[in-house]
Homo-oligomer: A and B are copies of this chain.
Amino acid sequence: MQYKKPMMIGGALAVMAMMPPVWASEPIQPITPVKSINLGMVELGKKLFFDPRLSKSGFISCNSCHNLSMGGTDNLKTSIGHNWNQGPISAPTVLNSSLNLAQFWDGRAKDLKEQAGGPIANPGEMGFTHELAVEVLQSIPGYVAEYTLVFGTEKIGIDGVTEAIAEFEKTLVTPNSRFDQWLLGDENAINGTELAGYKLFKASGCVACHNGSAVGGSTYQKMGVVAPYQTTSKIEGRIGVTGKDADRFKFKVPTLRNVELTYPYFHDGGAATLKEAVDIMGRIQLGKQFTDEEKVKIVAFLKTLTGDQPSFNLPILPPSSDKTPQPKPFS
């Protein structure tokens, strides 16, 4: 019978080709890598993303809190900023952040470029100013040369700096998760428990907010729909942007892509484990008390959302020159 196998497979493939893809009928779509990208700008942005000279101290880079070795976050409840300042909120992952409807938990930045300027000038984060950061970069011949190649001018501006960082960040998508392989038709990519978890995820209503290719990131929702969220955090979310009372405690729904790597969870980092996060979400958003078995299944499903992590050489940064202003970590 061996000679017939190829024909059978061929026949099966022919049938599959006529069928709509799995994901077409699912609320979650596969990640697609970015389609139009400026590679020179990406290389410049990658260096800037890793460069602590964008901070007053010379110690904190974008990668400090959005650590690409650790799922694009710092895995801390709230971040550490200039002078060991305790940040008010948990750093969201930079992975797949290009898929978000807006940036920051409250959506106050319309895109990655606008976001990138925020932490540099935040006294509690990188503690610098846009003007001083640009002055530092302008004093570094390697950056001036690369900036000139990319932007056609040797006069560095914060606009180009944040645009380059954003262009790099657009490359930080994580395709090829086991769940995406399943969505693309590989039935064996996830096991029975994981599939049961996905079905539960859909049937329980999680998918109402966590959908699309980012499995989230596309709407603002109230944290605590059915019951109030217990937290000591004073952060009120979207109301800070809109001023509308209805937006109190509304936050951008976080992506669940790579959620296995992005602990602790929620805007206050209040849930240490996925199991705890699923339990809390069930109770306060859906009015459901998941059983232990249900939580195990949903968590198993969530872990299938870990995709290929960004893969690139550690960037080597151009050295400062004799004219570069010194970092000021202790003043």
Contact = CB atoms under 8 A, between A and B. Distances in A.
Contacts of A327: 75-76
A81 to B, nearest CB: 10
A177 to B, nearest CB: 14
A58 B74 CA distance: 8
A314 B312 CA distance: 6
Copies in the assembly, this chain? 2
A70 interface: yes
B76 A319 contact: no
B74 A322 contact: no
Contacts of A273: 322
A316 B261 CA distance: 10
Interface string A311-331: 111111101101000110110
Nearest to A263: B320
A58 B84 contact: no
Select the residue from A68, A315, A320 with max chain B CB neighbours within 10 A.
Answer: A320
A42 interface: no
Chain A at the B interface: mostly helix, strand, loop or mixed?
loop
A218 interface: no
Interface in A69-92: 69-71, 74-77, 80, 83-84, 86
A74 B50 contact: no
Contact of A314 (B58, B313, B329): B313
Contacts of A76: 57-59, 327, 329
Given A263-B320, A326-B272, A330-B86, A50 B69 contact: yes
A310 interface: yes
Interface string A240-275: 000000000000000000001101100000001111
